[in-house]
Amino acid sequence: MSTFDSDAAAKVHAHLHSHLPSEPALRVKALESLLVERGMISTETIDAWVEAYSEEIGPKRGAQVVARAWLDAGFKARLLKNAAEAIKEFGFEGNATGHLIAVENTDQTHNAVVCTLCSCYPFSILGMSPSWYKSAAYRSRIVREPRKVLAEFGVELPDEIAVKIWDSTAELRYIVIPQQPKGTESWTEDQLAALITRNSMIGTQRELAVS
Amino acid sequence: MKNLSPFLKNDSAVFDQPWHAQVLAVADGLVQSGLFSANQWAAALGQQRHEAETQQKPDTAETYYHCALAALETLLSQNSGVDRATINQRSAIWARAYLATPHGQPVLLEAGE
């Protein structure tokens, strides 16, 4: 084979491989098609889930819940008593929030959430979890050395503030209610919600920036 | 940015690959339909995570989604007629279909059979 032919063959080869999905992508496609044929799941269900979690559902839902808790003491009491029930007031109940628990940061306490087993997360109100939440490093270290890990997130806690780590399970998931920043007492719910970050509701951020 | 901790460098919650989203979509769909429970899913995924950590696989999102796929395959083998051999076989047919289909045209399973 001449040099030219080798190059041409290499290009064709590269083209074919760029078109061919990766091995795990092919396996997912294979099992999806097998399940659809057996009537065990529908393509529409899969597509709707992917679209919702790629675009629509994000931490904004959780931020709205927290903002209302700051403004409405009655709602906050209901949220702390039974968060799964309280978020129905927004219509946010859904997969993975059947047993939701809200935990509140105070001047004396800081809360943070983990799933030491795998990656359980209240994704119907916080959207997809960030990569670090699923990492082995976070899952093992936040329990062993919480103050050190929180410091790596920029949360420096003095000794007098107690740290509570909540370990999620498939049936029990948590949302942290961060503290309302000072000077925002007259703000509206939407203005407040815009301040509230995803990490503050997992507990790896404590102070919220007021812009 | 250079001073960010490894955690904050991995702060993205966006799916890097379509199959990452699809594997979670299928798993969640099957929990909703009752093929297996949320607890079974968490246990299977936890087992895969544990094995990956024991084998010192890289602590990355890619490793996580490989674990999720392996957990899903395990639960399907245990709870449905879709076992690994069936998935291997179907996966090979899809691969042939992709290679046999000109770029830009829809890939149909029949093209690989």
- The pLDDT value recorded for residue A95 is 64
**Residue of B39, B61, B109 lying closest to A33 (CB–CB):** B109
Give A 163-182 residues with CB within 8 A of chain B: 169-171
Partner-chain contact A29 B35, CB within 8 Å? no
- The pLDDT value recorded for residue A142 is 97
pLDDT tens digits for A60-75?
A: 999 999 999 999 999 9
The three-state secondary structure class of B3 is coil
Which percentage of chain B shows pLDDT scores above 70? Answer: 98
**Is residue A93's pLDDT more than 60?**
yes
Partner-chain contact B41 A34, CB within 8 Å? no
**Is residue A1's pLDDT more than 80?**
no
Question: Cα–Cα distance between A8 and A153 in angstroms, integer?
Answer: 51
**Residue of B12, B17, B86 lying closest to A131 (CB–CB):** B12
**Is residue A98's pLDDT more than 90?**
no
Per domain, the residue ranges of chain A are 3-41, 58-202
ipTM of model: 0.93
pLDDT tens digits for A157-191?
A: 999 999 999 999 988 999 999 999 999 999 999 99
- The pLDDT value recorded for residue B1 is 47
Side-chain-side CA neighbours of residue A142 (13 Å): 29
- How far CA B105 is from CA of A36, A42, A86, A129, A160, in Å, comes to 22, 23, 49, 34, 64
Residue in chain A lying closest to B17 (CA):
A25
What integer is the mean pLDDT of B10-29? 92
- The pLDDT value recorded for residue A116 is 95
Give B 2-21 residues with CB within 8 A of chain A: 5-8, 10-15, 17-19, 21
Q: How confident is the model at residue A2 (pLDDT cuts 50, 70, 90)?
A: very low
Tokens 């395959």 label which residue? B73
**Is residue A148's pLDDT more than 90?**
yes
Per domain, the residue ranges of chain B are 17-81, 83-113
| Chain B interface mutation, best of A27, A37, A171, A199, highest count of B Cβ atoms under 10 Å | A27
- Residue A173, beta-bridge partner list: A100
Partner-chain contact A30 B90, CB within 8 Å? yes
Residue A19 with chain B: CB contacts under 8 Å:
98-99, 103
A118 carries an active-site annotation: yes
- The pLDDT value recorded for residue A133 is 96
Higher pLDDT, B90 or A56: B90
Residue B30 per-residue DSSP state: H
**Is residue A14's pLDDT more than 60?**
no
Residue A169 with chain B: CB contacts under 8 Å:
39, 42
Q: How confident is the model at residue A15 (pLDDT cuts 50, 70, 90)?
A: low
Token code pair at residue B92: 């090979």
State whether residue B97 sits within 8 Å of chain A by CB.
Answer: no
**Is residue A123's pLDDT more than 60?**
yes
- 10 Å CB burial of residue A13 (0-12, 13-18, 19+) is exposed
* Class (C level, CATH) for A58-202: alpha beta
What integer is the mean pLDDT of B36-49? 96
- The pLDDT value recorded for residue A137 is 95
- Residue A176, beta-bridge partner list: A103
Which percentage of chain A shows pLDDT scores above 70? Answer: 90
